[in-house]
Each structure stands twice: as structure tokens, then as C-alpha cells.
Amino acid sequence: MAKGMREIKRQIKSTQNMKQITKAMELVAAANLKRAQNAALAGRPYADKLKEVVSSIAGGGGSVKHPMLQSREVKKTAYIVFTSDRGLAGGLNSGLLKKFVDTLKSKHKSKAEYDLFVIGRKGRDYLKRRDYAVVQDVIGVPDSPKFADVKAIASAAVGGFEQGTYDEVYLVYNRFINALTQLPTVKQLLPLDAAAIGATKQAGPSAGYEYEPSPEAVLNVLLPKYAETLVYSALLENKASEFGSRMTAMSNATKNATKRINELTLTYNRARQAAITQEIAEIVGGANALS
């Protein structure tokens, strides 16, 4: 009996250690989530302002035409895929990648029709292992990412669109709804949705701006920037999703560990009691035999 007890005690100890780790990870993820949310909030004025100005030009002139606002025949598509570097975040990455691969299979006949830009180690490894052509990848993005961290990849994709290498650019990321819910999303980045931009027109000020040197020239500078900003905000959102998902996953793990410890403790106590009872029975038996 004593041997079984030692075994149970060891299991309790190891579960306790595990619980400590998951608990710590949960707390760290919660703190990071808070920071990621703040970062997303801090970036909003910039994105809003850009959108406002872009829509006031695009909506105001009516005659302004820009290749980034017009859809053309799709020969080649670029996807920017956002994943995390580290795992233990529940089904975050696997859910996203599964959806993404399904999209690829249903939309494209051959692998020559698309190029992949990947952010995050998990996505890169997953896609490379399955022989998808990853054109460019970024790993080791810090927990509070700077704009510079995605600048290279964003300019490559947006520049590719401008030069006509790509006819469409999509963002693949986890949309952050709340700490419990993240939605795998495939969203079109380019060509920019003129209707969506125009829809916010009323919200902006109707001040008749003067553009220097010309509306087209300003739009030429602004639209690529706007697209890059959207890439950055997708990164921030995916970061927030990562932490939210990790927090939930770790909180579940901690809960399970607690439950398991309770069960094991119960079994342990039972075994201990049984051992004591047996010992007493043996002593009593021995004493009776003597008398």
C-alpha cells in the first residue's frame, strides 16, 4: 500500500508544479493582453485620421482614380498571414491555419497563383512543412510590436500590388472580439474597398481641403501608407488575440490542475486511511492471539 501512496504523492507534486506554471503564464498573458489592447487603442487616432483624409479625397473629387482603389483581373494573390511565435495559446494558430489552408484550396487551382508572407514562427513552420511558397517571413516580433517590425513585409506586399505583381492582397489574422473569443479572419486588404471608405465620408469634416501639389499626388502617398497601417493594426489585433487565447487556455489548464489535485488528494487520503486501518487490524489481531 505504501508504494501506491508514494506514487500518488509524486503525481500530486508534479501536478502542483504544472499548475504553478500555467497560473504564472495566465497572469503574464493577462498583463500582456492589457498592454496589447492599449497599443491597439493608441494606434487608432493615426488610422482614423488617415482614413478620414483618404475618404475625403476619394469621396470629394469623385473623379480621382487610383489603381489601389480599383479591382482588376486576378492572376496572382498575396496573403499576409499572422500567427504567434509561441504555442500554448489554445487553438489560436491551428484554427487560423486550418481556415487559411481551406481558403487556399477552394480558391486556387495551383500553387503558382499565390504568394505567402508570414509573420510568426508557428505559421512559418506549418506552411513550410507543407511546401507552401513562403516569400518572406518575420519571426520574433516583440510582445508590444512597433510599426517598424512589420514595415518591411507590409511594403513588400503593398509594393507588389502597386507594381502589378499581385492583383489582390489578403490579411489572414485572428480578429479580437474579447478575451474569450477570437475569430479567424481572411480579409481583403487591396484593392481597398472604395465603398467602405466612402461610407465613412459623412463622419469626416466636409471642409474643402486644398491639396498640395494635387489630390492625385496626395493620394499616391496616402494610400500605400493607409494599407500599411491596416497591416500594422492587424498585427496588433492578432497579438491581442494571442494573449487573450493564451490567457483562456491557461486559465482552463489551471482549473483542470486544481481539479486533478483535489481528486488525487482524495485518493491519497483514502489510501492512507486504508493503510492505517489495516495496521490497526493487524495489531488488534496480534494482541488477541497473545491473550
Partner 1 sequence: MSTLRLEIVTPERTVYDKDVNMVVARGVDGDLGIMPQHIPLVTPLKIAPVKAKIGNNDEYIAVHGGFMEVRKDKVVILAESAELGSDIDVHRAQQAKERAQDRLNHKQSEVDHRRAELALQRALTRIRVGGGE
Q: Which is nearer to partner 1, 48 or 125 (CB)?
A: 48
| Amino acid identity for residue 285 in this structure | G
Cα distance between residue 231 and residue 81, in whole Å? 10
Min separation Cβ 42 and partner 1, Å: 5
Q: CA 261, CA 12: separation in Å to the nearest integer?
A: 6
Kindly state the smallest distance separating residue 265's Cβ from partner 1, in Å.
Answer: 49
Are 46 and 285 in contact by the 8 Å Cβ rule? The answer is no
Q: Cβ 211 to partner 1, closest distance in Å?
A: 5
In the complex, least distance from residue 119 CB atom to partner 1, rounded to whole angstroms: 16
Q: CB count, 10 Å around CB of 48?
A: 14
> Which residues are CB-contacts of 44 (< 8 A; sequence separation ≥ 6)?
none
- For partner 1, which is the closer residue by CB, 189 or 222? 222
89 versus 227: smaller Cβ distance to partner 1 = 227
**Strand partners for 185:** 173
Which residue, 193 or 216, is less far from partner 1 as judged by CB? 216
Task: Kindly state the cell numbers that stand for 38.
Answer: 492599449
Q: How far is the CB of 36 from partner 1 (least distance, A)?
A: 13
Q: How far apart (Å, rounded) are the C-alpha atoms in residues 189 and 167?
A: 11
Between 54 and 257, whose beta carbon lies closer to partner 1? 54
**Smaller CB distance to partner 1: residue 229 or 254?**
229
For partner 1, the closer CB: 154 or 264: 154
Question: In this structure, what DSSP letter does residue 183 have?
Answer: E
Q: Is 198 exposed, middle or buried (0-12, 13-18, 19+ CB in 10 A)?
A: middle
DSSP letter for each residue of 94-147: HHHHHHHHHHHHHH-SSGGGEEEEEESHHHHHHHHHTT--EEEEE----SS--H
Shortest approach of partner 1 to residue 21 CB, angstroms?
32
| Closer residue to partner 1 (CB): 87 or 204 | 204
Report the nearest approach of partner 1 to the CB of residue 221 (Å): 4
Point out which residues bind partner 1 (CB under 8 A): 39, 42-43, 45-47, 49-50, 53, 57, 146-148, 151, 205, 207-213, 217-218, 221-222, 225, 229, 232
Which residues pair with residue 138 across a beta bridge? 119
What CA–CA distance (Å, rounded) separates 127 from 141?
18
Shortest distance in whole angstroms from residue 117 CB to partner 1: 19
**CA dihedral defined by 234, 235, 241, 242, rounded to 10 degrees?**
160
